[in-house]
Amino acid sequence: MPQVSDPRLIRAILQRDPLWSVYALGDLEPGFFEHTRWWVSTGREPALLLLYRRFGRPVLFTLGPSNAVAALLSEIDGEPEMHLHVRPEIVDLVERTHAVSQRQEMVRMVLDTNRFAASVSDADRLNEDDVIALEQLYADGIATGEAPDFFAPEMVTRGVYFGVREGSALVAAGGTHIVSGTSGVGAVGNVYTRRDRRGRGLGARVIGAVTAALLGMRVQTIALNVKRENAVAIRLYERLGFDPYCTFCEGIAVRKAG
Task: Give the contacts of 186 (CB within 8 A, at least 6 positions apart).
Answer: 22, 26, 159, 160, 176, 178, 179, 180, 214, 217, 219, 221, 222, 223
Q: Is the pLDDT of residue 258 over 80?
A: no
> Can you give the residue range of the structural domain that contains 46?
3-107+249-255
Closest listed residue to residue 178, CA positions, set 66, 22, 14? 22
pLDDT class of 1 with cuts at 50, 70, 90: low
| Residues 126, 66 within the same domain | no
Residue type for position 167: G
pLDDT class of 42 with cuts at 50, 70, 90: confident
- Average pLDDT for 58-66: 96
| Residues 134, 221 within the same domain | yes
Q: What percent of the chain has pLDDT over 70?
A: 98
- Relative orientation angle of helices 202-216 and 231-240, to the nearest 10 degrees: 40
Q: Is the pLDDT of residue 232 over 70?
A: yes
pLDDT in tens, 142-201: 999 888 888 889 899 999 999 999 988 999 999 999 999 999 999 999 999 999 999 888
| Residues 142, 154 within the same domain | yes
Say how far apart CA 160 and CA 177 lie, in whole Å.
9
* CB-CB contact of 219 with 184 (8 Å): yes
| Residues 142, 101 within the same domain | no
Say how far apart CA 252 and CA 85 lie, in whole Å.
10
Structure confidence at residue 146 (pLDDT): 86
| Residues 124, 98 within the same domain | no
| Residues 68, 98 within the same domain | yes
Q: Is the pLDDT of residue 2 over 80?
A: no
| Residues 114, 242 within the same domain | yes
Tell me the CATH number at 189. Answer: 3.40.630.30
Say how far apart CA 257 and CA 242 lie, in whole Å.
42
Closest listed residue to residue 137, CA positions, set 123, 124, 148, 152? 148
pTM: 0.92
Give the β-pairing of 185-193 and 169-180.
Answer: antiparallel
| Residues 68, 134 within the same domain | no
